[in-house]
Amino acid sequence: MATQRFRRKDLKKPDEFLTLTGQVIRWVQAHTRLTIWGGAGVAAIVGAIALVIEFRSARARDANADLAQAMAAMRANNFAQAATELGEARQRWDATTPGTLAALLAASTSLRLGNPDDALTAIQQCAAAPGLSDYIRQQVAFVWGVALEQKGDWAGATEHYRDAAALTGPYTADATLGEARAQEQAGNAEQARQLYRQYYEQFPDAADRELIKIKAGVTNAPGAPPPTAG
C-alpha cells in the first residue's frame, strides 16, 4: 500500500495535526494486537497527545508537518519509512517538545522493525528531555525495557521495567510482567515467581491469567476451597 503524501502547507494548522493524531490512535487500536511489542507502540502513540497539545508556535507548525508526514507512513503500515522520517524529525527538533515526541515514536517504530539499538538511541534522547510527566516517563521506561529485552540484556530490562511499574500510567501491568520475564530469563527463579504472583493478584482481568497462574506457583485461585481428598 502506498503511503499517502501530504504537502507541508496542508499540515500547517495544529488542529489538523491533532485530528490526524486521533486518526492514528484509532488505527493503532484497531490493528495492533496487544503484545509486548505492540503495547509499546500503543503507549507511545497515545502518549503523543499529551505532548502535541503543548506546542502552537509558528516554528512548531513545521514540526507538526514533519511529524504528521511520519505518522501518515505509520497509518499506511510503512514502518521503515516512518522510522526514517521520525529519525530525521527527532534530530531536527532535538531539545524541543516536537523532538521529544518524534524520539518516542521513533523508538516504538524501531522496535516494531526489530531494531533495538535504534530504539535505544531514540529513547535515550527522549528520556533526556526536561519536564516529562509521570505518564510519559512511564512510557519511556517501558519502551526502554522492551528494547533491552529484545537485546537480551536481562539486568537492564529488569531495571527499566521496575522503574516503569513504579510510575503512574497505563503500563504498570505490562511493566510488572516484563520485569518477571527478564528475571526468569536471567535465571532468578524466585524473584520471577514473586513478580508473576504480584501480577496474578493485582491484575485479575489479564488475558494470560491461566499461564501466569502456573508461573506464579498458584495452586488455587484466591478464595477457592482447597481440593478434597478421596
Domain final position from 132, 149, 182: 132
Across the range 96-116, mean pLDDT stands at: 86
5 and 114 share a domain? yes
Domain final position from 132, 148, 183: 132
Domain count, the chain: 2
Q: Could you tell me if 105 and 139 are in contact, meaning their C-beta atoms sit under 8 angstroms apart?
A: no
pLDDT attached to residue 58: 61
Across the range 14-31, mean pLDDT stands at: 44
Pick from 118, 122, 144, 140: nearest CA to 131: 140
- Tell me which residue range forms the domain holding 185: 137-218
A 10 A CB-CB count for 77 gives 14
Residue 228 lies in a domain: no
Pick from 199, 200, 36, 197: nearest CA to 108: 36
Residue 61 lies in a domain: yes
The CB-side HSE value for 8 (13 A sphere, CA atoms) comes to 6
pLDDT attached to residue 36: 41
127 and 163 share a domain? no
Identify which has the larger pLDDT, 161 or 226: 161
Pick from 65, 63, 105, 64: nearest CA to 84: 105
108 and 192 share a domain? no
101 and 164 share a domain? no
User: What whole-number distance in Å separates Cα of residue 69 and Cα of residue 81?
Assistant: 10
A 10 A CB-CB count for 23 gives 13
79 and 150 share a domain? no
Q: Could you tell me if 157 and 145 are in contact, meaning their C-beta atoms sit under 8 angstroms apart?
A: yes
pLDDT attached to residue 97: 76
Pick from 143, 6, 127: nearest CA to 64: 6
Give the model confidence (pLDDT) of 56-105 as tens digits: 556 667 877 888 888 788 778 888 998 999 999 888 888 777 788 888 88
31 and 72 share a domain? yes
Residue 207 lies in a domain: yes
27 and 119 share a domain? yes
Domain final position from 99, 132, 165: 132
Collapsing DSSP to helix, strand or coil, 9 comes out as: helix
Look up the CATH number of the domain holding residue 194. 1.25.40.10
pLDDT attached to residue 44: 52
5 and 115 share a domain? yes
Q: Could you tell me if 12 and 63 are in contact, meaning their C-beta atoms sit under 8 angstroms apart?
A: no
Residue 225 lies in a domain: no
10 and 123 share a domain? yes
Residue with cell 526489530: 114
| 31-35, 143-147, 169-173, 202-206: least confidently modelled range | 31-35
C-alpha torsion sign, points 211, 205, 35, 101: negative
Q: What is the pTM of this model?
A: 0.73
116 and 9 share a domain? yes
220: left (phi over 0), alpha (psi -120 to 50) or beta: beta
